Amino acid sequence: MKNLNHISVFRKRISITEILGGTRLPEMPLGWRGVLLATATLCLLVMPTEAKSARGRMKTGLKQMKDKQFMAAATNFFAAAELAAGQDRSPAPAYLNNGNALYRASKWDAARERYLRALESGDVDLQAAVFFNIGNVDMKLAETALKEKKPKETIKHYDAAILSYEKSITVAPDYMDPKVNYEIAQNRKAALLNMVVELRGDLKQAWSMIRKHNYTNAAQFLQKRAAANETAFALDENLAKEYQDVLKRTMQIVKIVSEPEKGGER
């Protein structure tokens, strides 16, 4: 059984797509290192000349993103969104950029809130990118929950990510990244749930030993497998209780059987 923090998943090229003035630039490969999370799409809009203040904020935010000054960029993108809204223009692209900056700064919940604001856009491509990025936020939150040994919360975030990727695929069927991430989320969730299946298998094997009166072997087996089953215990509390009860009773039997008989000749 694999450790909770080392679940095997597919890997893919992490990429960034930038949109500048409506022109899609080539993808920039960042390498194959590490487990997937396709990076949030950066939709960087140059505002019309009538919105010079918003345009200036967007350009500043773009420069700060390239300099990895993500929180400063987030501030400028948010200001651009507010200025655009005040000038009766769609703030959605700026909110998407704002979410991307927060995503890069590992501010997952704040990024999600900005992405949700960007969904007000009627642009199908932008909506697809937003749903995709929201899915990526939940994948990051799943990673965090996994490290904190919270498997139920991890699965909840995988389910949310899967739903967001499905929405992205529905809006833009030709958009490939959400399809890849959808499969990864499904596989990670399946790997966690498979731990419960393995726990049931361990209990079945222990009961088989007990029925053959191999109490010592059964107790040793359950003790040895306990650490590996910690994640499954958290996912299925009823099975966890059964496991501990079987182990406790088996160890009691071993103790009784191994004790020398009292009494004897006087």
Structure tokens at 263: 């009494």
- Residue 21 phi/psi, 5-degree rounding, is 60, 30
Across residues 39-44, what is the average pLDDT? 43
**Distance between CA atoms of 174 and 185, rounded to whole angstroms?**
19
- DSSP-derived secondary structure for 156-167: HHHHHHHHHHHH
Q: What is the pLDDT of residue 261?
A: 56
Beta-bridge mates of residue 29: 15
Which residues 6+ apart lie within 8 Å of 182 measured at CB? 135, 162, 165, 166, 169
The chain-wide mean pLDDT, for the chain, equals 81
Give the 3-state secondary structure of 126-137: HHHHHHHHHHHH
Query: What confidence tens digit (pLDDT) does each residue in 46-81 have?
Result: 444 433 688 899 999 999 999 999 999 999 999 999
Comparing CA positions, the residue from 74, 59, 80 lying closest to residue 106 is 74
Q: What is the pLDDT of residue 262?
A: 55
Q: What is the pLDDT of residue 122?
A: 82
Asked if pLDDT for residue 89 goes beyond 90, the answer is: no
**Angle formed at CA 183 by CA 157 and CA 163, multiple of 5 degrees:** 40
Across residues 156-173, what is the average pLDDT? 96
**Distance between CA atoms of 34 and 12, rounded to whole angstroms?**
9
**Quick check: 127 and 99 in contact, CB under 8 A?**
no
- Listed by start position, the domains of the chain span 194-258
Q: What is the pLDDT of residue 260?
A: 66
